[in-house]
Structure 1
Amino acid sequence: MPDMTDLATLAAKHDTTFILALFVDLIGKPCAKLVPIEAIEELQNDGVGFAGYAAGALGQEPKDPDIMALPDASSFTPVPFIKEGLAIVHCDPYVEGKPWPYAPRNILRSILDKAAECDLSVHVGAEVEYFLVHQDEHGGLITADPGDNAARPCYDARGVTRMYEHLAAVSRGMNELGWGNYANDHEDANGQFEQNFAYADAMTTADRVITLRYLISMIAEQRGMTATFMPRPFADRTGSGLHLHLSLWKGSSPLFPAHDAADLRGLGLSSLAYDFIGGVLDHAGALQAVLAPSVNSYKRTGAVSMSSGASWAPRVPTYGGNDRTHYVRVPDAHRIELRGGDGSANPYLAIAAAVGAGLDGIARHTDPGTPGGDNGVDRAALPLTLLHAVDALEADPTISGALDCAGAGVARYFGELKREEFFRWHSQVTSWEIDHYLTAF
């Protein structure tokens, strides 16, 4: 059961008057009910009910019993800078007294329990990238800052300064919450930004990614802008990633650094870390169905021409040192950076799948090969489309097993959702087709 620390005490401490009892569906949609402080005992003791089919992709039909969202008080997050007296608490969905296996938070908890059986804990950092945009009278996207039009806008001090109020509001919010915001920057594309916070245990980081997306979206709306985490909203610009920094620990000891001179690959990593990397690379094709789970994702990873000169998105499952062209980057000996994810990824599922792949690599002592693009290990290129990624997921028992960790059937359900999404997109007639085919025959 979730941690039942006294919510009333936490709410009183922070002058909370309303709580957003929040969870996400498999797609990552944040679902919540606004609970007044007067009903906090009912929330803590009984949870709050949702019609699961109405809420979203949660593996339910209209006839199914309610989902009861039970609060995890350890995730209590006061956000008075959004609305006075407001707080968020992340919830674990239950049905008829049992954890619901289609709930992303329950899936991640199950895979972390599997790691704990091996006496391992998982720490994760996340890089959240996004665009600030407006829509014109025709529904097209334009950069919210009209002055943000440089050919190479990355790290531009003027672009950051023009968006100072927005970036500073988000930064102050993170630091008031104790997240340790340490940088806020203009990313590679016009209108694109990234705001970083310190790493934490895997569940805390996943909760914070969801909370941060909410905070960024609400703060942008307050200033008349739209924040989008869409992987590639502009055809000529770099897309938005969700890069995950992963490390394994035993108690207070990090396990990725090599503690002797036996690392012949030269990255300072332990054999366990290389096993973990090997598992991630072996399962990269199936992982992409979870790390890059939208049609639009593959317009990011398949990009070949960017106005800035680089897409920064991996196209093949390789690894190397401090080199951002790889699927797995090793910036130092304490962590690895998984660069295949994008802004459409559900952080709970993404972390669960990545950890599942790494644990499989450890169990099999998987050899990742030598660092660099040509390492002599035969691994297929990353999927070209969402449909290819779903095919890889369905053929991979390890990544399917990670999604099914809290209960069978989730991977198949997720794959069916994504296959249907692909064909809904594929059935549309686009302006590209009109331009190329209208008078071609």
Structure 2
Amino acid sequence: MNGVITSNTLLLEDIQKKMEAENVQFLLASFSDMNGTSRAKLVPAKRLSSVCESGAGFAGFAVGDLGHGPCDPDILCIPDLRSMTILPWQKDLAWFAGTLTEDGTPWSYCTRTILLNVMEKAKKLGYEMKTGVEPEFFLLSEDGQGGISPSDAFDVAKKPCYNQQALMRNYDFLSTLINHMDELNWNVAQADHEDANGQFEINFEFADVLTSADRLTFFKYMVRSMAEERNLVATFMPKPFSHLTGNGCHMHLSLWNDGKNLFKDEKDLRGNELSETGYYFIGGLLKHARALSAIVCPTVNSYKRLTAMSTSSGQTWAPNRISYGGNNRTQLVRIPGAGRIEFRAMDNNANPYLAAAAILAAGFDGIENKVDPDIIISEYSEIKQMLGIQVNSLPTTLQEAISELEQDTVLIDSLGSDFIETYIKRKKEEWAEYHDFISAWEIEKYLKETN
């Protein structure tokens, strides 16, 4: 948090000049709640200096899951000036990612602060994590009865991935989105039609882990806003259709020190051009994969993506086993090229800051304890044979994942015991709510068919 305040002090004058030059009239002081939902206040631009000093006040209990009751004082959101993003489609408005304080003290329920804390530990050990994310989303139309379907009525192929006709029918939306992203200097690499009807993915340049989390948060806001302008629905929901491939958010990552990629080793005897440090990081991800799932796949719906048996295209593209390998998209951790790995379980329901913090913490545990990923897989196989349980598979439900998180002291200590206690409590309530809900499928199956 001190880094944010120091950075703000150094940047304030420059940011004020830029906002005046760009005729920015308002700013959004924004933060992500436990679930990754953006919360914000609209503040006149002339109040930037005071809001950087004293923060924008929020009633924490009204937001929910911030460790506050209705009698507690305000939670204060301090905008991080480094994150300033002038909206390409609303140029008189600037968005700022914020961190939360109470009475000047960093707040332990702030997920951006949790990431900053894990980053600080990494920095002391000589590591900086860089990440690139690949968010997938659907563009949908909604009928008058609340039903949804792909917004492109002609997008009906069983294998629509990379379909040029379907891609170009959505040219206006995608090209506008790419232009917005390039205006923000995100350096878009490519966009494509994904494996499901109405599904798309945008790939853009990697950055330090905090910047990437800020960008992913803003990206989802931008895509949803663009869709609403066109009377469409953009969803990042992991599994909106049972017969179609779900939405993932693959994270490519590497560790750096003073401009050097610590994951790269051209002499790698395993043939992946990955360093020993990189393999130990993978070992940490595999070791904590089952508990990590509760953070990176945080909803009931997440596990309908992870455990899907088949789709109309013939492949779900979602990992469900604790494994790693080379350029193989069925693995939990893929090594797509020299000096980087791809973590494929994460979905877009995950809070970007919390997910990044948990992944970093799990990987560091692997480095600190020199966890060989091959030994982890071997041990899982032996335990499976002995006990007959699927310990080498990811959890199949949110309930199972939460049970794993409750026992993972590394993640609990890294993310904060008070925060995790509340997180687990809320996720148990979410599971109970889902379990108690009577679905249309149950009515059809057990009332109409049986009776």
TM score, norm. by length of structure 1: 0.95
Residue in 2 that maps onto 1:308:
313
Q: Does 1:440 align with 2:445?
A: no
Check if 1:202 corresponds to 2:209: yes
Partner of 1:273: 278
Match of 1:348 among 349, 353, 359: 353
**Which residue is equivalent to 2:167?**
160
Label 1:336 to 1:371 Cα distance change in 2 as closer, same or farther (>3 A).
Answer: farther
Question: 1:3-42 residue pairs with structure 2 within 5 A?
Answer: 3-4=7-8, 5-6=11-12, 7-42=15-50
The percentage of aligned residue pairs carrying the same residue is 42
Deviations 1:44-88 (A, max 9, x none): 22221111111233222212211111111010111141x231110
Specify which of 240, 246, 250 is matched with residue 239 of structure 1. Answer: 246
Question: Secondary structure of the residue that 2:373 maps to in structure 1?
Answer: coil
Measure, in 2, the Cα distance between the counterparts of 1:355 and 1:200: 15
* Structure 2 gaps, min length 5: 384-390
Aligned residues: 435
Q: Does 1:387 align with 2:399?
A: yes
Task: Trace 1:120-199 onto structure 2 (pairs within 5 A).
Answer: 120-199=127-206
In structure 2, C-alpha distance between the alignment counterparts of 1:394 and 1:346, rounded to whole Å: 19
* Structure 1 residue 313, shift from structure 2 partner: 0.4
State how far apart, in whole Å, the 2-side matches of 1:300 and 1:87 are.
35
Deviation string, structure 1 residues 175-202 (Cα, Å, up to 9, x no partner):
0010111111111000111111100000
- Picking from 396, 418, 435, the partner of 2:408 is 396
The one-letter amino acid paired with 1:416 is K
Q: Distance in 2 between matches of 1:419 and 1:10?
A: 46
Counterpart Cα distance in 1 of 2:372 and 2:378? 15
1:277 Cα deviation after fit: 0.3
CA contact (8 A) 1:320 1:372 kept: no
- Alignment partner of 1:90: what SS? strand
Distance 1:370 1:166 in 2: 47
1:112-144 CA distances to partner (integer Å, 9 max, x unpaired)?
011111111110100111111122222111111
Partner of 2:300: 295
Indicate if the aligned counterparts of 1:318 and 1:371 stay in contact, CA closer than 8 A.
no
Q: Distance in 1 between matches of 2:436 and 2:43?
A: 41
Amino acid at match of 2:246: G
The answer to whether structure 1 residue 115 and structure 2 residue 117 are counterparts is no
- The equivalent position to 2:73 in structure 1, one of 47, 65, 72, is 65
C-alpha contact 1:125 1:205 (8 A) present in aligned 2: yes
Output the amino acid matched with 2:47: A
What is the CA distance between 1:265 and its match in structure 2? 2.0
Aligned residue number for residue 325 of structure 1: 330
1:374 shift after superposition? 11
* Structure 1 residues 367 and 80, CA gap change in structure 2 (3 angstroms): closer
Distance 1:14 1:158 in 2: 38
Q: How far apart, in 2, do the equivalents of 1:339 and 1:137 lie?
A: 36
Structure 1 207/289 Cα, relative in aligned 2: closer, same or farther at 3 Å?
same
Partners of 1:369 and 1:376 within 8 A in 2: no
How far is 1:380 from its partner?
Answer: 2.9
Q: Which residue of 1 aligns with 2:56?
A: 48
Q: CA RMSD in A?
A: 1.7
What's the CA shift string for 1:287-346, capped at 9, x where partnerless?
100010000000000100200110000011100000000000000121110001012011
What one-letter code is carried by the residue in structure 1 that aligns with 2:148? Answer: L
Mean alpha-carbon deviation: is it higher for 2-11 or for 142-151? Answer: 2-11
Call closer, same or farther: CA 1:372–1:184 in 2, change over 3 Å: farther
**Residue identity in the other structure for 1:419:** K
SS at match of 1:341: coil
CA distance in 1, matches of 2:411, 2:199: 31
CA distance in 2, matches of 1:23, 1:147: 38
Separation in 2, partners of 1:180, 1:84: 20
Structure 1 unpaired stretches of 5+ = none
Residue pair 1:265, 1:370 contacting (<8 A) in 2 also: no
Distance of 1:329 and 1:374 partners within structure 2: 20
Q: How big is each residue's C-alpha offset from its partner over 1:231-273, in whole Å with a ceiling of 9 and x where there is no partner?
A: 00001000000111110011100001125x3x33221211111
